[in-house]
């Protein structure tokens, strides 16, 4: 204990911070949505936390501004899905409806929670 106290005076405070490694999620389901009323609501470009944009993700369990990596690309959680979906479902916002349809449903995906 005395050694720790002595070191705490000699070393910078951030020396003792232990950071968690990124969290890897397996077997996730990823879909895509576009700004249309039939896919969202009466304000299709407004998500749960404000305006959505390319790079926005919807998920029901991770906090606003959580940054994740999917297939080498970073996304930010800025929206929620319908409550019938579980934590394993992720929805990528795409401006183009056809691109969202072409994206389809991707099952058994790996997602890395960065921040």
pLDDT value for 18: 52
3-state secondary structure of 84: coil
The mean pLDDT of 89-104, rounded to a whole number, is 94
Q: Under a CB-based contact definition with an 8 Å cutoff, are residues 25 and 36 in contact?
A: no
3-state secondary structure of 62: coil
Cα angle: 81, vertex 86, 92; to 5 degrees: 40
Is the pLDDT at 62 greater than 60, yes or no?
Answer: yes
pLDDT value for 2: 44
pLDDT value for 21: 62
Cα angle: 66, vertex 100, 95; to 5 degrees: 70
pLDDT value for 5: 43
Higher-scoring residue by pLDDT: 22, 71: 71
At 62, list the tokens. 């991770």
Give the pLDDT confidence of 2-60 residue by residue, as tens digits: 444 444 454 454 444 555 668 999 999 999 998 877 766 677 778 888 888 888 999 99
Is the pLDDT at 88 greater than 50, yes or no?
Answer: yes
Domains of the chain, each with CATH number or no CATH: 35-115 (2.40.40)
CA-nearest of 101, 110, 42, 115 to 70 is 110
| pTM, 2 dp | 0.74
Distance CA 76, CA 53 (A): 10
pLDDT value for 16: 47
pLDDT value for 57: 94
């Amino acid at each position: 204990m005395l050694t720790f106290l002595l070191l705490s005076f000699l070393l910078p405070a951030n020396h003792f911070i232990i950071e968690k490694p990124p969290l890897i999620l397996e077997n996730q389901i990823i879909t895509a949505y576009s700004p249309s009323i039939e896919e969202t609501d009466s304000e299709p470009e407004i998500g749960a936390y404000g305006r959505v944009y390319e790079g926005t993700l919807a998920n029901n369990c991770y906090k606003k501004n959580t940054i994740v990596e999917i297939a080498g690309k970073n996304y930010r959680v800025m929206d929620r899905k319908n409550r019938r979906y579980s934590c394993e479902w992720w929805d990528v916002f795409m401006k183009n409806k056809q691109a969202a349809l072409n994206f389809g449903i991707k099952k058994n995906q790996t997602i890395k929670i960065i921040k």
